[in-house]
Amino acid sequence: MFRKMIAREAKIAFWCLLPAVAFLMVFMFYPIFYVILMSFFKTNRLGNLVSYTGLGNYRFLFRRPEFWTIILRSCVWTALAVAVKTAFGLVIALSLNTDFWGRKVARSLVVIPWASSVPISAMLWQWTYNNDFGLLNHTLKTLGIWKNPPVWLAYPKPAFFANLWVDIWCGIPFMALVFLAGLQAIPTELYEAADIDGASSFAKFRFVTLPLLSGVLTVATLLSTLWTFNDFNVIYILTKGGPANSTDILITYIYKYAFQYLRFGPAASMAVITFIILLAVSIIYARAYFRERS
């Protein structure tokens, strides 16, 4: 009887999950399977499979020096962006965790860049970066912060950092909010105990805050790594990967190969490589997540 009930329950669970899982199967797992398949085929300009080439597409990619440049750039892009987002987020969270007048307003204002959509934010920045009429360089010059700021989006190096900054800027609020939530979960007694022991502010940060924040730090940086690596909108809207592919990362390059050059085969094999990288990081993330919960 009890057994039967469990079986009945399992049946209900099955029917409840079926629509969602079926939907994901058709529009997520099948596409992943198909892109893997496609990566082993020659394709025509419509993306139809023409003939099996084995590792041909992969070999084609690996022989191109710019492919390695782009892999390297994707890694540098992700590492720099995540590091700066984390640092900024931590500073904001620590500031907002102290009690001051107007803290609530400050907190809501911090959220705004996260709430505004990335595509629109990128467009705002594009205008802000404008060399002749944009307010960024004007402000930097007028306030004497930077006498000769670069023409941001016109040359490879400045364009890379301009893109990077917009990605960072979009990601700061999330980091700040997660860290803030993490900080608020730390019991105040611990700080009081540290005070009684005569600990300095730095010692409190090092021996109370950091260890207790480490779970949140791990999960947030992993999640941010995935998002940063995946960032398509900022680069596509600001520079489309230009000038001369100098700001492309793997994600934008895949898109360009498929929908601009119409070379679906190599694009698919790049997608597979990206998929493997993301899968590895996702599994690490999921593990960290489940470990934190239990």
Within residues 48-87, the interface with other proteins by CB under 8 A covers: none
How many Cβ atoms sit within 10 Å of the Cβ of residue 97? 15
- Residues sharing a CB contact under 8 Å with residue 157, sequence separation 6 or more, in sequence order: 150, 246
Distance CA 249, CA 76 (A): 10
Stretch that binds other proteins, among 51-59, 71-79, 152-160, 169-177 (CB under 8 A): 169-177
Within residues 190-249, the interface with other proteins by CB under 8 A covers: 195, 215-216, 218-220, 223, 226, 229-230, 232-233, 236-237
CB of 66 to other proteins, least distance (A): 18
Distance CA 268, CA 147 (A): 45
Within residues 270-289, the interface with other proteins by CB under 8 A covers: 271, 274-275, 278-279, 281-283, 285-286, 288-289
- Between CA 199 and CA 203, with CA 202 as vertex, the angle to 5 degrees is 40
Which of 53, 56, 67, 114 lies at the binding interface for other proteins (CB under 8 A)? 114
Could you please report the per-residue DSSP string of 94-122?
HHHHS--TTHHHHHHHHHHHHHS-HHHHH
Is 158 a residue that touches other proteins (CB under 8 A)?
no
CB of 169 to other proteins, least distance (A): 7
Distance CA 21, CA 28 (A): 10
Binding mask 33-52 for other proteins (x = CB under 8 A): -xx--x--------x-----
Which of 50, 79, 124, 244 lies at the binding interface for other proteins (CB under 8 A)? 124
